[in-house]
Amino acid sequence: MKIKQILLAARPKGLPVAEDFKTETATLPELQPGEVLVKPLYLSVDPYMRGRMNDTRSYIPPFQVDAPIESSGVAEVTASKADQFKPGDKVMSTAPRPFLPWATAAIFPAAHLRKVDDSIPLTHYLGLLGVPGLTAYFGMVDIGKPKPGETVVVSGAAGAVGIVVGQIAKIMGCRAVGIAGGSEKIKLLTDTFDFDAAIDYKGNPDMDSAVAAACPNGVDVYFDNVGGDISDAVARHLNFFARVPLCGQISLYNSTEVPVGPRIQPILVTRSILMQGFIITNYASRFGEGVKQLAEWIKAGKIKYTETIEEGFDRLPDALLGLFSGKNSGKMIVKV
Amino acid sequence: MKIKQILLAARPKGLPVAEDFKTETATLPELQPGEVLVKPLYLSVDPYMRGRMNDTRSYIPPFQVDAPIESSGVAEVTASKADQFKPGDKVMSTAPRPFLPWATAAIFPAAHLRKVDDSIPLTHYLGLLGVPGLTAYFGMVDIGKPKPGETVVVSGAAGAVGIVVGQIAKIMGCRAVGIAGGSEKIKLLTDTFDFDAAIDYKGNPDMDSAVAAACPNGVDVYFDNVGGDISDAVARHLNFFARVPLCGQISLYNSTEVPVGPRIQPILVTRSILMQGFIITNYASRFGEGVKQLAEWIKAGKIKYTETIEEGFDRLPDALLGLFSGKNSGKMIVKV
C-alpha cells in the first residue's frame, strides 16, 4: 500500500523553515497477524517538537533525519489482523511511544494501541484530556499549589496549556492573569475564559509596569510556558515563597546559541522561591486522576476550551511553524 | 557605661571597603529592672550580611546607616536585673531578632535572651549547631533529598555550610564533590573531611571538564552557595530530576548591576530539575529536629568541623570582608 509521509529533511538552525521538511511516498508492507492498519484523523503539533528536531539530550529522543516526524494523534482503524480491533475503531498509540507518524497510514502492533471513547469530540484527546490539559493540571496541582486568594500568572496564556492553567486558577479561588500576544487573544482570555486580567506583550515597551498593574499583590504562582524577556518581567514581581512551574521556554527554542539573560538565582534565594521543570510523562502513573478531575470540571461547565484546526495532511509543517509566531489560539491541531 | 561599637558608615557599592564601617564610642543607659547587661564573646560574620548592607527587600531588614552592625553571637552576662540570669551565664539572643550588636557591651530585655549549655565549645553555637549547620541540614534533607549512590556537588565547599553539606552527603551514602578555591582548601576537603573529590576553581580555565571528571555519573544534587560561572559549569552536568538547593550566591553579592549569564530555565525544563531558594528561618519550627540529628552525628564522630577565628573586636570589619576573598576555612568567627 502506497502512503504519503513527511520526513525531517535537515536539522533546523534557529527557526525551522519549510525546507527542513520533505514529503515523499512510501510503501507499507503486508499486514501481519497481530497488526493493525490505521489512518490518522487528527495530528497534534506542539512546541516541544522543536526540541526533538535538535540532536540533543532531552526527555524524548530526537527525530531522525530522513525519518518521519511523529506527534500525538487520533487515528481510525482501517484494517486489522488483531482480535481487539476492527475497522472503524478510533485509537491512540500508547507509551512508551505514544505518537503517530506523519503519514497517511501506518501499521502498529495491537499492543501499542488503545481504543478511545468516540462519544466525546476526538480532538479533546489531544487537548483538554490529552497532553495540554494534563500538563496544566499537574503543573498546577503538583508544583504551583495555588492557595485561595493568591495570584497566578501564566505566560503563553492563550495556548493549549495556558487557557487551562488560568481556568484551574479560577476554580482554585485565585486571581488569574494571562500574558499573550495581540488584542484578539487578550480579549479571548478575559471575555471567553474569565481571566481577571490579561497583558499583551506584543509591542509593549514596559512589561514590568504591566505586570505590576495586573498583579497588585505580587505573583504567587508563575506558570511559565515562554521564558525570556517576558519571564524576566514577571520574575521581578514574584512574592516570597512563590512557585514557578517551568513548562516550556518557547521563546528560546529557536536560539542557536546559549540564551543569556538576567540570572534568576539571586531572586530565588532572597525570596525562598521554588522553580521546577517538568514534563507530563513524569506524571504518567497519575494520568487517571488528572483525566477524572478535568472531565468533572468540563461536565460542571467550569472549563471551556478552544482549538485552532488546520485542514489537510500537507498543512502539518506550516501548522508546526505557526506555533512559533503565535498563530494558534488554544490547541493547534491538523485534521488530516 | 562607655562602650565601643562599629556602625555602618555608608552603603557599599560593589565590594565593601573599610571606609563603609566606622568605630565610635557610646554610653549605655542605666540597667533597668528586667534587663541584662551582656558582653559579646564570639561574633559571627556571614556572607548573607552583605545583602543587609543594601537597602533592598529581602528576608531580613537592611542594616541602617549610622546604626551598629549586628550578627549572630554568644555573650556572657556581666550584670543582671532579671531573676533568670546571673553574671557568668553564657547567652544568645532569640527570635525575632537573634543578633548581637557589634559592640563591646549591650543591654537586652531578659525575654530576648536564652542561656546556652557551656559544656560544649561555645563557637559550635555559631557553626555546627547554629545557622551554618542547620542550613546544611535542612537544605539537604528538605530540598536536596539525596539518595544512596547519588552524586552531591557543593560549591563554597570549604565554607561553614559547605563542609557540613559534604559530610551529610557521605552519611547519606552519596559521592561528595566539593568546589573551593586554592590547593589548601582542596586538601582540607579530601584529607580532613573525606570528600570523594574536590575541584579548585581558582585559575581553572576549564571548570566544565573538571566537573565532568569529578562526577562521572553526572550531578544529582547541587547545593549552591556561590552562583555565577562556577554554577554554570555544574548546571551543564545536572542529571534528569536533579535537585538544586539554592543557599547563597556569594559570587554575585557585590554586583552593582543585575548579573547576567546563561539562562538556567532551559536546562531545568528539559531535565525536570527542581531549584529552590531557601533561608534557614523558613525551618525555625524544625530547629529542634536539626540540632538533635547534628548533635548525634557529632557524638558518633560522623561530622567534623573547622573554624577560622580572628581575635579582637576591631577585626570584625576585616573578617567580614575576608569572606568575599575566601580567607576562611569553615566558619569565620571573631573572638571579641
Where along chain A do its domains lie? 2-127+306-335, 132-281
Q: A2-127+306-335: which CATH architecture?
A: Alpha-Beta Complex (3.90)
Mean pLDDT of the region B214-226: 97
Contact A269, B277 (CB under 8 A): yes
For CA atoms B221, B304, B187, B73, the dihedral sign is: positive
Q: Give the C-alpha separation, B20 to B42, whole Å.
A: 22
Cell triple for A275: 522553580
Residues 228-287 of B with CB under 8 A from A: 228, 231, 240, 246-249, 252, 258-279, 282
- What are the Cα distances from residue B64, in Å, to B5, B55, B67? 14, 8, 5
Residue B226 confidence (pLDDT) above 90: yes
Q: Give the C-alpha separation, B146 to B223, whole Å.
A: 11
Q: What is the CA radius of gyration of chain B?
A: 20
Cross-chain residue pair A271–B59, CB shorter than 8 Å: yes
What CATH class does A132-281 carry? alpha beta
Give the pLDDT confidence of A30-88 residue by residue, as tens digits.
Answer: 999 999 999 999 999 988 899 899 987 766 789 999 999 999 999 999 999 999 999 99
Q: Give the C-alpha separation, B247 to B140, whole Å.
A: 10
What single-letter DSSP state applies at residue B144?
Answer: I
Residues 6+ apart with CB under 8 A from A234: A153, A155, A179, A211, A219, A222, A224
Q: Which of A272, A273, A277 sits opposite B273 (nearest CB)?
A: A277
Give the pLDDT confidence of A209-252 residue by residue, as tens digits.
Answer: 999 999 999 999 999 999 999 999 999 999 999 999 999 888 87
- What are the Cα distances from residue A19, in Å, to A6, A51, A123, A298, A310? 12, 17, 29, 40, 20
B133 vs chain A: nearest CA distance in angstroms? 18
Q: Give the C-alpha separation, B288 to B95, whole Å.
A: 14
Give the pLDDT confidence of B78-120 residue by residue, as tens digits.
Answer: 999 999 999 999 999 987 778 999 999 999 999 999 998 887 7
How many helices (H) does chain B have, and how many strands (E)?
9, 18
**What percentage of chain B reaches a pLDDT higher than 70?**
99
pLDDT at position B305 is 85
Give the pLDDT confidence of B248-276 residue by residue, as tens digits.
Answer: 888 877 777 889 999 999 999 999 999 99
ipTM attached to this prediction: 0.82
Cross-chain residue pair B274–A274, CB shorter than 8 Å: yes
Task: Tell whether B61 lies on the interface with A, counting CB pairs under 8 A.
Answer: no
pLDDT at position A235 is 98
Q: Give the C-alpha separation, B202 to B199, whole Å.
A: 9
Within this chain, domains A2-127+306-335 and A132-281 share the same CATH topology: no
Q: In chain A, what residues touch B53 (CB-CB under 8 Å)? A: none
Cross-chain residue pair B282–A272, CB shorter than 8 Å: yes
Q: Residue A246, class by beta-carbon neighbours within 10 Å (0-12 exposed, 13-18 middle, 19+ buried)?
A: buried
What CATH class does B131-281 carry? alpha beta
Tell me what the pLDDT averaged over chain A comes to: 93
Using omega within 30 degrees of 0 as the cis cutoff, is the peptide bond preceding B96 cis? yes
- Best of A222, A238, A246 to mutate (most B CBs within 10 Å, chain B): A246
- CATH code of the region B2-127+305-335: 3.90.180.10
Q: Give the C-alpha separation, B265 to A94, whole Å.
A: 29
Q: Give the C-alpha separation, A48 to B270, whole Å.
A: 10
Candidates A126, A93, A125; CA nearest to A111 is: A93
Q: In chain B, what residues touch A260 (CB-CB under 8 Å)? A: 260-263
